[in-house]
Structure 1
């Protein structure tokens, strides 16, 4: 372990509506319309603030999810949902995922800045590029643009949004004439209390990491190994330095899929029971979706073919998220499992995002290890079932981190940007 650093771990929770596993809806703590119930959402905000969490994230979805591998096939608009939660909370950050591929920059800039006002400076935008052809068709497009074009558009989209937010501060029109957007406009919304809404970036491609280093305040990363996380952490921080920024200005928060129990055996039993309640094909379909290759066609008792592994890391391969694919590739290369062994492992180690099955104490150990090793500035936690998993984070995991001097005892700031800055401190040299 390295010497303790100043500052503290950042903790967010990815509110996957009901939980990240398809069987989450079967929890006795939920009812059939929980995701439509205003009380469900205000309770999420209240529990998050009880644990003094930095932020809660909510994804948008421009298409109906496949319930075979998506626990949350239907979703509400995150900016509307978080506006409701903002009225019932005072401190926790409210981050909405929104696509730069299928939105208009003026409309999105206004919606996010409006959320920032109703939350008194707690809004954030998690920038993503959409890759699904059915989503494109929902917007009248025959297919998604190529990956390179989507990231070029994303970089320009962010520039336009930032210029529009600046127009709210100065009262002067934003003038932009680029390859994708052409406008002379200014927002009529007043300027942000926190300067501007916070930017998170979720892409793991080289262009995505470069964009994060130049513009983002944080990265919602996909990491399966600590070694890979350290490498990607340093890469984004170097991009920040190259853009004339301090590396501390961009925070790295890997996603972490959680099944927690009072003992490791209880946590594994919980994970197994939830997986068994879901579709039998869940693991195969989720892996297929993540790597863009039909995993059901692979021989379960053979190792992954070399051509499949090469496709996973080939940036020209159109399927899946590059960040997820790279993490999965590194995990397979490290342990060299058969396909069946890998699918069994993903119950406990995650698929795309890293998984964790164990006790709150073991989770605190894991968070501390990655934090002190220079693999992360914190984590975006994703419980298997949100209805009880979030309470365990707030009431059991957070107190353990506080005892280790890794997390605050109370909020000292009341904006999302303030939370990020309060966590900054001296980074120990990674071992």
Structure 2
């Protein structure tokens, strides 16, 4: 009997089946797909549960299995920085039951005798996967698409509220000595606090955390997160470096960006993109447009639908001529890696921040909401690879910032430091590097019973 038991143990198949559940926003889908491709390359079978809103075309990912929620959120609904909070609340309320039904359908589809699903990897912005996964006795790992320092700040928010930092009359420039280099004005607004509290809760109640960062970039924050949490933490980024050409864009990319960049001198072009959700007033949009025109610097500007209701001035393209190229959406990783790019004017979403750092591109920072001000503060004061537009959207201030970044010695120093981080971002993925070892540890954890 012992011999039979040993033979059965030897032939036991270890499950490599995973379920992934992204939030349907571009900044969350992109890293989740990079993670999916990475785990697929390590011989894991990937099933993706997605919403009908901003859904991906399964034909573009034949190596994955897709399930869609039967939800009531309109496929034509638009989310932006103007309606993000109520939009997220609506999603959380409407998706919980469809997710439970869909997850049950996925798990019921496992044929008798075949390997079961090993784990659910869910974006930590979802507030319900923990309870649902537990009801199916399924292990859950939280996936963070924001920085680790943002998690530390989110965990501190009740403390900062008790200290009165969100009361009228508080000093916005006051430094937060508990978590340098942040200032009071870098904290997320109170309208986001309930959402961020759920993010912290979902992370703390998971069985592990995967983050799109690396030790050399956020060592103090990663150490602090490990102190806060009693679960494994796996900083395996930068994730885009594993699958840089992966088709992860919800929006259609305009590849004329690359052909136009091919004609520009090295380090000459300012790439301008404020992400997939920023909404800009007509006044601010025109200030940005004229600042770019007046700067005399070549620029590639992403003006996606929904960025602003204001059209460009009629003679704008005639004024900037061949010096400016405007597209609705760009293949950002490919753009940032292009030799013609000398700087990136960004909203400082975490994907854009880590992609820019990993490609050695210095940044001009214009944060809009949630964690973006915190990322910008790290860029300017911790890593010193960029500068923040502290005085709002004014064309004269923007022109000064562009010159500092693109043509002055200060910008050259930032470019040099950014190049050092690019080297670290490459080395951490190599055999023996910090992210390489974290990935090994993650795979071992996923395969453990």
TM-score (norm 2): 0.33
* Larger RCO (CA under 8 A, 6+ residues apart): 1
TM-score (norm 1): 0.34
Query: Whose radius of gyration is greater, 1 or 2?
Result: 2
